[in-house]
Structure 1
Amino acid sequence: MFIRCTVGLGVALVASVVLAIGLGPAPVSPADTLRYLGAALTGGTIRLDEVATYEIVWQLRTPRVLLAAVVGAGLSAVGAGVQALVRNPLADPFVLGISSGAAVGAVSVLVTGALAVAGIYALSVGAFAGALVAAALVHVTARRRGPGGTSPLRLVLTGVAMAYAFQAAMALLIYLVPQGEATATVLYWTLGGFGAATWGSLPLVVVVVLAGITALRLRARDMDVLALGDETAASSGVDTARLRRELFVLTSVMTGAMVAVSGAIGFVGLIVPHLVRMVTGAVHARVLVLAPLVGAVLAVWVDLLSRTVVAPRELPLGVVTALVGVPVFVVLLRRRGYVFGGV
């Protein structure tokens, strides 16, 4: 069952990527899409009258669709990791205030002109720096001395409080420097989107997400034990304080890297792990294989909807994920055969 699901989702992801690259205001058939991708990857030739279409496929749509797949996979894996970290089934990659910190970083760069040396990547660098600062503040504030280290409840409460603080700081920046562009940036980092995807923005986030998923997968067994409670984990030889620190740092870096290139995209990291657990159970070794595949497929199709439903305009990605995620969440909540971590 697990192997069939993995293979099926892998095929679905490849098919979704090809279809999403071809679909849009200027539709391209799957056969032509594959031909253009093959020409780009192998240095093949295309006809002169196909250059414009080729540029749309390779330079505009392909990096965008690939970024959607990578971020969807990363958010789903981080969602599973954060839910294990705080032992809360309602946790998602942004519960610790990291996305709000990233938004402050992005808006600070915009209104002050800082990091100009980074050129077109200044906003992403500022967002990533803001995310790391937010993660550090949450960790330092929530940390307590003595055995057990930082408790899940303290971590969540601190993250929520810091998120409000960062939102207030962001509002103050916009108030002091009232610019229409600043307001648009706030909306972007709040609702997310892949419209700014370029080939240059892909390598770093791909490396961070793949390395992060691999690292989470290596700690899958410890995460299973952690879900049973600190006492059970300690009796099994798991250092819960150290594990939580590792998971916190890992999920924070992954979230910061993804928010830096796509903004804050909600519901993917919350819903996907639960959907996967319905099929494969709560074993993290399996969840962390299937959840990234499901998240990648979901993000690709959500992005396609956002750029085609009201074309040539784009719907904010957060609006589409909420429209999809809220009904799914309600159905899961009312489903008798599935329990949200005992809730």
Structure 2
Amino acid sequence: MSLAAASLGTSRRRIGTGGLALLGLAAAILAGVMIGETPMPPVVVLQTLANKLFGAGYVLDPVDEGIIWNYRLTRAITAASCGAGLALSGAVLQALLRNALADPYILGISAGASTGAVAVTIAGLGAGMLSLSFGAFLGALLAFGLVAALARAAGGGVGASGAAQIVLAGIAGSQLFNALTAFIIAKSANADQARGIMFWLMGNLSGVRWPDVWLAVPIALIGWIICRFHARALDAFAFGADAAAALGVPVRRVQLVLIAAAALVTAVMVSMVGSIGFVGLVIPHAARFLVGPCHGRLLPASALMGAVFLIVADVVSRTIIPGQVLPIGVITALAGAPAFALILIRGGRRP
């Protein structure tokens, strides 16, 4: 009886925590819609949502209604999905490789996705038969495959003791694919295209609309479900691939599934908003500091913190300079670099 009561209490606490997390995310999205160069009162925002979702019939300014529904809400939801997806990818890669520096950006996945997206949109790769998202996905897989092959040739490999070689190979792969992206832009893009692409590559949510939301949200949810399903396996990887195998974890299958999921999530997000650094690197460390290393708690905390962080970064990018929108990657770097330095220093001082 006591065990049943304890189990029931644990379940209730989890439901309560999950409910609070969803409320916090909803509050962040609401703030992202309200705050901007033209502030929107919460009543107007809620009435717009009621009109669009339930046909409530409130009389509102069509301009305000359009800004809220077609511009700010889509940005906030897409930012939340991208932040959650990138943070999840970073947490998974850090666990699989047992390396604190692992994230989609450092391991070349983001750079490869950027190259694939640019190759499809500017160089015409696929002759119009490939979508931008699929091109980004192929670029992400190609980049990580190259990085893994280079690391294995250098004596490391995915899940091997030489995980440091993967990070070093990722740095080399990132530089290679960044150079390929620059080459494609210089060779195939005109001045206007080059300017727009360079702004996009630094992170840009200005062009996202509802079709992007219908892609970003399901991909983030699929990534979350896959990662959450493998939470116990990720805990086993904390002791190394050999220890995980001894505990009955199918190491190669888990690695393949999770790396493919991380590549898919990263590729889709990069194809929509460009390359945004530090989210997949810093957020999992911050979440680990708050909730501990158990992935049953770490993954949802990382997803929630990543979503809120990118919403806040988007708001700052739109408001920090009046009349001008900064690339969101600039804001994440300005916030993420000092945060990572602080985490690094605190970690180094622990006995």
TM-score, normalised to structure 1, is: 0.88
**Residues 215 and 267 (structure 1), Cα distance of their counterparts in 2 relative to 1, 3 Å cut:** same
* SS across alignment from 1:335: helix
Q: CA–CA distance in 2 between the matches of 1:155 and 1:244?
A: 14
Deviation (angstroms), 1:337 = 8.8
**Aligned partner (choices 88, 92, 95) of residue 99 of structure 2:** 88
**Residues 149 and 315 (structure 1), Cα distance of their counterparts in 2 relative to 1, 3 Å cut:** closer
Alignment root-mean-square deviation, CA: 2.8
Partner in structure 2 of residue 127 of structure 1:
136
Deviation (angstroms), 1:56 = 0.8
Deviation (angstroms), 1:242 = 2.6
Q: CA–CA distance in 2 between the matches of 1:282 and 1:296?
A: 20
**Residues 150 and 324 (structure 1), Cα distance of their counterparts in 2 relative to 1, 3 Å cut:** closer
Q: CA–CA distance in 1 between the matches of 2:347 and 2:181?
A: 41
Q: CA–CA distance in 1 between the matches of 2:67 and 2:127?
A: 29
Q: CA–CA distance in 2 between the matches of 1:338 and 1:237?
A: 35
Q: CA–CA distance in 1 between the matches of 2:349 and 2:256?
A: 30
**Residues 86 and 149 (structure 1), Cα distance of their counterparts in 2 relative to 1, 3 Å cut:** closer
Deviations 1:28-68 (A, max 9, x none): 10111011011101123232x61111011101111111000
Partner in structure 2 of residue 24 of structure 1:
36
Identical aligned pairs, as a percentage? 36
Deviations 1:151-207 (A, max 9, x none): 334543433322222122222223323622343244235321211111011222211
Residues 137 and 263, structure 2, Cα contact 8 Å, conserved in 1: no
**Residues 337 and 139 (structure 1), Cα distance of their counterparts in 2 relative to 1, 3 Å cut:** closer
After superposition, residues 1-343 of structure 1 pair within 5 angstroms as 3=14, 6-47=18-59, 50-113=61-124, 123-139=132-148, 151=160, 152-177=163-188, 179-335=190-346
Q: CA–CA distance in 2 between the matches of 1:191 and 1:13?
A: 25
Q: CA–CA distance in 1 between the matches of 2:112 and 2:265?
A: 14
**Residues 94 and 245 (structure 1), Cα distance of their counterparts in 2 relative to 1, 3 Å cut:** same
Q: CA–CA distance in 1 between the matches of 2:227 and 2:200?
A: 26
* SS across alignment from 1:243: helix
Amino acid at match of 1:239: P
Q: Which moved more, 1:287-296 or 1:163-172?
A: 163-172
Q: CA–CA distance in 2 between the matches of 1:43 and 1:199?
A: 18
Q: CA–CA distance in 2 between the matches of 1:63 and 1:270?
A: 25
Residues 9 and 294, structure 1, Cα contact 8 Å, conserved in 2: no
TM-score, normalised to structure 2, is: 0.86
**Residues 143 and 326 (structure 1), Cα distance of their counterparts in 2 relative to 1, 3 Å cut:** closer
Deviation (angstroms), 1:122 = 5.3
Residues 93 and 255, structure 1, Cα contact 8 Å, conserved in 2: yes
Residues 283 and 305, structure 2, Cα contact 8 Å, conserved in 1: yes
Q: CA–CA distance in 1 between the matches of 2:200 and 2:169?
A: 21
Amino acid at match of 2:219: V
Deviation (angstroms), 1:267 = 1.0
Partner in structure 1 of residue 3 of structure 2:
none
Amino acid at match of 1:206: V
Q: CA–CA distance in 2 between the matches of 1:45 and 1:198?
A: 23
Q: CA–CA distance in 1 between the matches of 2:105 and 2:196?
A: 18
Deviation (angstroms), 1:105 = 2.3
**Residues 10 and 23 (structure 1), Cα distance of their counterparts in 2 relative to 1, 3 Å cut:** same
Q: CA–CA distance in 2 between the matches of 1:6 and 1:275?
A: 19
